[in-house]
Amino acid sequence: MPTLSEALVYLNGEFSPLGEAKISVMDRGFLLGDAVYEVIPVFSGVPFRLAHHLNRLNNSLKAIKIPEPLEQKSWISIIEKLCAQFTDENQSIYLQVTRGISPTRDHVFPQDAKPTVFIMAKPVDMDTLPDPYQGVSAITIDDIRWRYCYIKATTLLANVLAKQSALEQDASEAILIRDGNALEGAASNLFIVKDNNIITPPKSENLLPGITRDVILELANNHDLVVTESNISLDELGNADEIWLTSSVKEVVPVVTLDNQPVADGHPGEQWKKMKLLYEDFKKSLSPQPSH
Ligand code: PDD
């Protein structure tokens, strides 16, 4: 099996080892953060909700007026080829599209730029991930991001600073507060539970339409759990029975400490335990069945 630096990555039509892949310093992704991305988990060797991720990618591209650089079937075959390098069942795919290279640094779109497309896969050792049954700590923080948070843009400075603030306060995630409402984490979506009702903020320009968020809503609806999409005020967050964070990387994790205070009794809640099992069962149901 290749090391990460030997592993092949896809860059603009070519496959080369990660350690050798290079882009121009005039790439607008580098100079201006003029780019969008996706992070796609792979479970049991199968990219999870790939069509949904590619659909969100196309929405992000459309929103920033970058033409779709590849067709669906090309994305899929490149991703399959990259994953096939590793025997690991669990992997993570990172995919980025920038507007391409400008002859000079200029904010205005260059004429006829060709988007830069970069994709890499890396194995994920689930045993090294923090045990979700321990729960995580989070802080609340003012949301200083721009207004188009539904676009999965690489321009992540506000998210980076929020997450770093969390780390510096011994927490692993920062929950972003705008106009008195809790919207999402710096790299995750937000759910609370109050009186057995699962609540998540509705999709809007203010948050990323998370693929994991959709899975949680589907699982809740399919298993007769009460779920509502409505705003969560800072007060409601503080008085929640449970707080969960969801993402392709974290899946669904319970927050047990918020701003140094225990969430309810400071342990993962019953609704989370139910959802965690539903999520695991759902993942299992998607793994390829052995052929006879
Ligand atoms: N981030 N909200 C934000 C701001 C995010 O950055 C992410 C994921 C999510 C969850 O989306 P999904 O369920 O589709 O992963 C919500 C990725 C993992 C990242 O930036 O690395």
pLDDT confidence bin for 125, thresholds 50/70/90: confident
Residue 84: which H helix or E strand, with range? none
pLDDT confidence bin for 112, thresholds 50/70/90: confident
CA–CA dist 94, 7 (Å, integer) = 13
Q: For the chain, what are the domain ranges?
A: 8-124, 136-284
CA-to-CA dists, residue 85 to 78, 187, 221, angstroms: 12, 28, 37
Fold match flag (8-124 vs 136-284): no
Q: Candidates 189, 212, 218: which one to mutate for ligand 1, based on the most atoms within 8 Å of Cβ? A: 189
How many CB atoms lie under 10 A from the CB of residue 226? 13
- Percent of the chain whose pLDDT exceeds 70: 99
Which pLDDT tens digit goes with each residue over 242-251? 999 999 989 9
> Ligand 1 pocket, 211 CB below 6 A?
yes
Which pLDDT tens digit goes with each residue over 93-110? 999 999 999 999 999 999
Q: Which residue lies with its CA nearest to atom 5 of ligand 1?
A: 187
> Ligand 1 pocket, 249 CB below 6 A?
yes
Average confidence score pLDDT of the chain: 96
Q: Can you give the pLDDT at residue 185?
A: 98
> Ligand 1 pocket, 189 CB below 6 A?
yes
Measured in Å, residue 209 CA sits from the centre of ligand 1 at 9
Which pLDDT tens digit goes with each residue over 200-223? 999 999 999 999 999 999 999 999
Q: Which atom in ligand 1 lies closest to the alpha carbon of residue 249?
A: 18
Measured in Å, residue 2 CA sits from the centre of ligand 1 at 27
CATH annotation of 8-124 = 3.30.470.10
Q: Can you give the pLDDT at residue 277?
A: 98
pLDDT confidence bin for 4, thresholds 50/70/90: confident
Which of 152, 163, 250, 276 is an active site residue? 152
Which pLDDT tens digit goes with each residue over 152-210? 999 999 999 999 999 999 999 999 999 999 999 999 999 999 999 999 999 999 999 99
CA dihedral 260, 264, 268, 269 (to 10 degrees): -160
22 flagged as catalytic = no
Order across the sheet with 35-43: list the strands: 14-17, 8-11, 116-123, 91-98, 35-43, 46-47
From 182, 246, 187, select the one nearest 218 (Cα to Cα): 246
Q: Can you give the pLDDT at residue 289?
A: 76
In this predicted structure, the answer to whether residue 292 has a pLDDT above a threshold of 70 is: no
Q: Which atom in ligand 1 lies closest to the alpha carbon of residue 208?
A: 2
> Ligand 1 pocket, 212 CB below 6 A?
yes
Q: Does domain 136-284 have CATH number 3.40.190.10?
A: no
Measured in Å, residue 215 CA sits from the centre of ligand 1 at 13
Measured in Å, residue 250 CA sits from the centre of ligand 1 at 9
Q: Can you give the pLDDT at residue 120?
A: 98
Torsion angles phi and psi, residue 162, rounded to 5: -65, -45
Measured in Å, residue 189 CA sits from the centre of ligand 1 at 7
pLDDT confidence bin for 119, thresholds 50/70/90: very high
Q: Which residue lies with its CA nearest to atom 19 of ligand 1?
A: 187
> Ligand 1 pocket, 162 CB below 6 A?
no
Q: Can you give the pLDDT at residue 49?
A: 97
Which pLDDT tens digit goes with each residue over 17-76? 999 999 999 999 999 999 999 999 999 999 999 999 999 999 999 999 999 999 999 999
Does the reported pTM lie above 0.75?
Answer: yes
Higher pLDDT, 237 or 1: 237
Measured in Å, residue 265 CA sits from the centre of ligand 1 at 28
| Three-state DSSP class for residue 205 | coil
Q: Can you give the pLDDT at residue 291?
A: 65
